[in-house]
Amino acid sequence: MKKFPQALADYLVAEKVIPKETLSRLQEEMNQSQEYLGEILIRESLIDDLKLRALKAKLYHLPEANIADLKIDREVGKEISADVINFYGIIPFQREAEILRVGILNPENFDALEALKFIGEDKKIQIEKYVISHADFSKLLREYSSLKSEVGQALENITAPEGPELKLNDKVKIEEITAEAPITRIVAVVVRHAVESRASDIHIEPFEDKIRIRFRVDGVLQSALSLPKDLLPAIVTRVKILANLKIDEARLPQDGRFSTHLEKRKIDFRVSILPTKTGEKVVMRILDPIADISLESLGFMGRNLAVILRVMDNPFGQILITGPTGSGKSTTLYAMLAKLNVEGVNITTLEDPVEYFVEGVNQSQVHEEIGFTFANGLRSILRQDPDIVMVGEIRDGETAALATQAALTGHLVLSTLHTNDAIGVIPRLVNMGVEKYLLAPTLSLAMGQRLLRRLCPSCRVADKPNVGEKEIIDKALAQLPKQAKAEVPEERLFFRPAKEGCKKCGGKAYSGRVAIVEALEMTDELEKVVLGSLSEQAMRREAFNQGMMSMFQDGIMKVLRGVTSLAELLQVAQMISTTVADEATPIKSESEKIPGGPSLESGPVVADKEQSFGV
């Protein structure tokens, strides 16, 4: 269906080319005839083709191309497939080294612009957009299709119904099955692009009139491509074949996985297919096992790194990471596992779901529906004599009790909890029924974590903080525990995201993510507080005394190192207290409400924004 160019219509009204009253009739006409608005206007002699082109150039700030003056190279027509040309009204007319010049009929059609962007990235060429006349568009179309007739009508008949032929890089071979079919190529190209843009998820979403493909990059969903709706069944089938799912089942959700090699890396995909009113929706989670997961690369440094390495050295105890969904807890767990995974150590995990495969680790998947819960699973695992146990999440009293028991009986237990910050872990465990006197000897470390986007190092912009920003930074530094002051970098950097971004970050100004962390260690003093008053204030005081930086302060350290921007930190930090000792923090963290009593009943405050990074 052709998109009605609203801005153009308004502009034509303003320019007195058409009276306002005709707009709804023209729109209706467009729906009926499936023509472009311009074609109708020209047909009805309301405007001349070239005048329209000039007005469009002015409105959309694009140059005009006059095809009549050019020598048309038919080979250029092959740069974009006929289906894409017809569907989006975009047509290539000139190729010069790495530049492809493309005529576009409706620059308001966002999907067309996206398709061009995708083609440009896929072919690694620069696309230059021009407005062209309808006559020139038709002329080019005729030139190119006559080429096709030379190649043979038969071939066209076979390939045409299958849609756009986005060429796949020769060296990339996803699967041998039906390797030449265009659909296979589309899926392969989409997958490769997703991996190359470091996406964590691919969403293939059916709408009434099109398929939208979006990638989640750094936690944010971004449109990658729109495709004609009639390709959906073939694409879904292709994914089902890859993931070994039932092709003829379209009414029930299905889950599966597949793996592929891209540039010598083996990458796993977890596939989930969900029937919706407009067709089957596909989500592919990209599980990249070689993604460089180490505590250092995640952003652990200074005391935080030292403390976590120290407690990981203990043969027993619990290390619990806390934070809302999407705060990177499971990634940190995997980084710890990677470090702990040495010969002679039995590591067993219980996960929901298994997100990365770690060689040499016994990983099992929770299946609540058949009674294989975290609690039951943990009970069985403990009979298997593990040294280290990783439990995806402690979310009930039974699991909490078993984890505590495991830590007491000489196991190192790694897990996650849903609370707002490190200090919140203690009252949460007590609330789940863990005895206070067992908590102190078993809990080695409680950590709070959030993820911030890293500034793109290629285009970040050096600047000075303004008065307000300087105040925020100075206040956070002034309230650092004295042990932490040594971690303030001598040379303080300050960067802002580039307005436009650059090629390296795909125009996003950010690239990758970094964790901000707070690490509360069980000490004799903390044990006294736990066994005694369990007062929030006393726990904060002890946290400060042992030198714990708050997540916010850790974030400030990363701002001053140029790793991220203050704006990014402030946005993520809305939910966390700025300093450990700061009583006057305007935004109270969840755990700060605890000392009053049983308010925890209501459960943890969780910013449940769907994000890519695990638990």
**Site residues for Zn ion per CB under 5 A:** 456, 458-459, 501-502, 504-505
Minimum CB distance to Zn ion smaller for 6 or for 458? 458
Minimum CB distance to Zn ion smaller for 293 or for 456? 456
**Smallest distance from Zn ion to CB 411, Å:** 45
**Smallest distance from Zn ion to CB 458, Å:** 5
Q: What is the DSSP string of 247-274?
A: TT--SS-EEEEEEEEETTEEEEEEEEEE
**Smallest distance from Zn ion to CB 502, Å:** 3
> Alpha-carbon distance 331 to 286, whole Å?
13
Query: Buried b / exposed e across 584-611, counting CB within 10 Å, b at 16+?
Result: eeeeebbbbbbeeeeebeeebbbeeeeb
**Smallest distance from Zn ion to CB 507, Å:** 8
Q: Are strands 347-351 and 362-365 parallel, antiparallel or unpaired?
A: parallel
Minimum CB distance to Zn ion smaller for 94 or for 511? 511
- Residues paired with 96 in a beta bridge: 99
Q: What tokens does 67 get?
A: 């095809």
Minimum CB distance to Zn ion smaller for 338 or for 502? 502
Integer CA distances (angstroms), 559 to 61, 239, 473, 514, 569, in order = 38, 42, 9, 11, 8
**Smallest distance from Zn ion to CB 193, Å:** 18
**Smallest distance from Zn ion to CB 456, Å:** 3
Instruction: Sort residue 106 into left (φ over 0), alpha (ψ -120 to 50) or beta.
Output: beta
Phi and psi at residue 366, in whole multiples of 5°? -70, 135
Q: What tokens does 205 get?
A: 């979403």
Minimum CB distance to Zn ion smaller for 303 or for 454? 454
- The answer to whether the CB of 113 falls within 8 A of the CB of 107 is yes
Q: What tokens does 223 get?
A: 């449109």
Minimum CB distance to Zn ion smaller for 356 or for 495? 495
> Alpha-carbon distance 352 to 243, whole Å?
19
**Smallest distance from Zn ion to CB 459, Å:** 3
Minimum CB distance to Zn ion smaller for 340 or for 456? 456
Minimum CB distance to Zn ion smaller for 307 or for 505? 505
Length in residues, the chain: 615
Q: Which helix (H) or strand (E) holds 159?
A: helix 153-159
- The answer to whether the CB of 227 falls within 8 A of the CB of 210 is yes
**Smallest distance from Zn ion to CB 493, Å:** 16
Minimum CB distance to Zn ion smaller for 158 or for 493? 493
**Smallest distance from Zn ion to CB 498, Å:** 6
Minimum CB distance to Zn ion smaller for 413 or for 566? 566
**Smallest distance from Zn ion to CB 121, Å:** 15
Our CA angle for 582, 576, 310, nearest 5°, is 85
**Smallest distance from Zn ion to CB 454, Å:** 11
- The answer to whether the CB of 549 falls within 8 A of the CB of 518 is yes
Integer CA distances (angstroms), 209 to 232, 266, 278, 450, in order = 11, 35, 9, 38
> Alpha-carbon distance 39 to 23, whole Å?
14
**Smallest distance from Zn ion to CB 508, Å:** 7
Phi and psi at residue 132, in whole multiples of 5°? -130, 165
Residues contacting 304, CB < 8 A, separation 6+: 517, 518, 519, 549, 554
HEC sequence for 281-347: EEEEEEECCCCCCCHHHHCCCHHHHHHHHHHHHCCCEEEEEECCCCCCHHHHHHHHHHHHCCCCCCE
What distance, in Å, lies between the first and last C-alpha atoms of the chain?
Answer: 40
Minimum CB distance to Zn ion smaller for 53 or for 453? 453
Minimum CB distance to Zn ion smaller for 217 or for 375? 217
